[in-house]
Copies of this chain bind each other. A is one copy, B any other.
């Protein structure tokens, strides 16, 4: 029974920042972070801070030329000084890491899943997610903010934002010392046996990436992580909506 497990969890572990196991960090979104551009926001999950910005591009990628479909794509980066150790600047190294590629693809797919691309007026929306400060959960914060930036850009194309069918929010969870935790920060993530990123719409799931790098996990564990993620869904959507004024 879920309730018992939750109680048990409360007993066995205290989070460094005194959060409950099922408590989000302080999450905030400031829409229109830039006065210029087609849509932007600043999003924070605790000490993880991301600037998301959307640009409407009149050119769709080559493979869509001549079709009537628009496109949505995302790029992701971290400031070299964003984390506790300096991260090599990808621009000077000459290529993006595998991790960056993986995250960019996740953000892009997630956003596309709730948009009717045929209603984008044959335009491409490019989302840039740049991590200013990193303390775990940068990809899920990026997705949560990217939705806001995309929404604002879509509004420029169609005042009714008719092409967006649903919300997109994301959060990362993990099992640390046997305890499933919501919205893990960097130090929790480093010690997690299992971590999972959940991208969710208002009522459905958009993407699950659950990974047991240290050991295989059980279906039950996955379920608990998913329950934690789902418990945060409404809060995250309402933070987005408040920021967007809808």
Contacts and interface: CB of A to CB of B under 8 A. Distances in A.
Interface of A: 34, 36-37, 40, 51, 53-55, 57, 75, 77, 79-81, 83-84, 86, 89-92, 94-102, 104-105, 109, 112-114, 126, 128, 130, 132-133, 166, 196, 200-201, 203-219, 222, 226
16 contacts: A37-B84, A40-B81, A51-B81, A51-B132, A54-B81, A55-B80, A77-B91, A79-B130, A89-B91, A98-B101, A113-B215, A196-B208, A203-B216, A205-B212, A207-B210, A219-B226
A75 B86 CA distance: 12
B81 A53 contact: yes
Mostly helix, strand, loop or mixed at chain A's interface? Answer: mixed
Contacts of A207: 209-212
A203 B217 CA distance: 9
Nearest to A168: B216
Contact of A53 (B53, B80, B100, B206): B80
Contacts of A204: 212, 215-218
